[in-house]
Amino acid sequence: MSKWRCNVCGYVYEGEKPPAECPICGVGPEEFSSVGETTVATARPIPAKRWKCTVCDYVHVGETPPDVCPLCGAGSDAFVLLSDDAQSLTAEAIAAAGLGTARSALNKVSYGLYIITSVNAGQLNGQCCNTAFQLTDQPTRLAVCLNKENLTHEYIMASAVFAISMLSTNQLDMVRHFGYQSGRNVNKFKDIEYIAGKNGCPILKNGVAYVEGTILPEKSVDVGTHTLFIGDVTAGRMIVDEDPLTYHLYRENRAK
């Protein structure tokens, strides 16, 4: 069986012919060279450094990270160097630590993956989000952190209502559908099975569970590029007793 190397990111694929698309950087088969070829007219030198976006996992190859992630729009400070070898924890390692090394550590924080939805003047929208968590049991209160540039953020600010759909492990396609396109350009709920909740927010019918809530504006926090919305849960239900999708599981399986 032949081996093919991506000229852009260095990914190696085994097969009779190169893949239709590189699972790491997304280039087509024309950017693959047979491993062992000494000269390839279109081949480019493979840069030594690979940078991963900690927001969406896009991998950039180059001496420095890109100014802006082409997939999610995150800045260069969201990238971590993949080739950075782990060190044993010594006094020297702690002294050398900084924001860059902290970002690679933060990449180990565990997250869920949820679809956050809202409604505004009869218009629906939703987005993928990994920052949603319960704060207290009495009252039953949640926090959801959304980018201020997102349409769902705009709807929640206007209507003060939201819903969270927990995804099943076989709903990887929902992450891309709700997370990699804007509701300003497309109707995300076209051809999606959903039902309106008590507060009017759309709830995915094939998820694991859902909750609805009302935002408490006086308790929400401006955290710079994002708003940390604090809200009280008003309704919810487990739909099916299955494990929910996590960010770690999504990253492991999205290229398969």
Cα distances (Å, whole numbers) of residue 141 to 82, 99, 158, 205: 37, 31, 20, 23
In the structure, how many helices (H) and strands (E) does the chain have?
5, 16
pLDDT at 192 (0 to 100):
96
Neighbours of 96 (CB within 10 A): 10
**What are the structure tokens assigned to 133, written together?**
């968590």
Q: Do 244 and 206 touch, CB atoms closer than 8 A?
A: no
114-253 has which CATH code?
2.30.110.10
**Do 3-106 and 114-253 have matching folds?**
no
Q: pLDDT tens-digit profile of 47-103? A: 457 777 777 777 888 878 889 888 778 888 878 776 544 556 778 777 777 776 776
Show me where the domains of the chain are located.
3-106, 114-253
Give dist(CA 174, CA 254) in Å, integer: 11
Structure pTM? Answer: 0.67
The parts of the chain modelled with pLDDT lower than 50 are 37-47, 84-85
Give dist(CA 30, CA 14) in Å, integer: 15
**What are the structure tokens assigned to 182, written together?**
């804007």
DSSP 167: P
Q: Which amino acid is at 143?
A: A
Burial string for 106-145 (b: 16+ CB within 10 Å, else e) reads eeeeeebbbbbbbbbeeebbbbbbbebeeeeeeeebbbbb
DSSP letter string, 46-112: --S-EEEETTT--EEESSS--SB-TTT--BGGGEEETT-------HHHHHH--HHHHHHHHTTS--B
Give the architecture-level CATH label for domain 3-106: Single Sheet (2.20)
pLDDT at 254 (0 to 100):
61
Q: Do 229 and 164 touch, CB atoms closer than 8 A?
A: no
Tell me if residue 29 falls in helix, strand or coil: helix
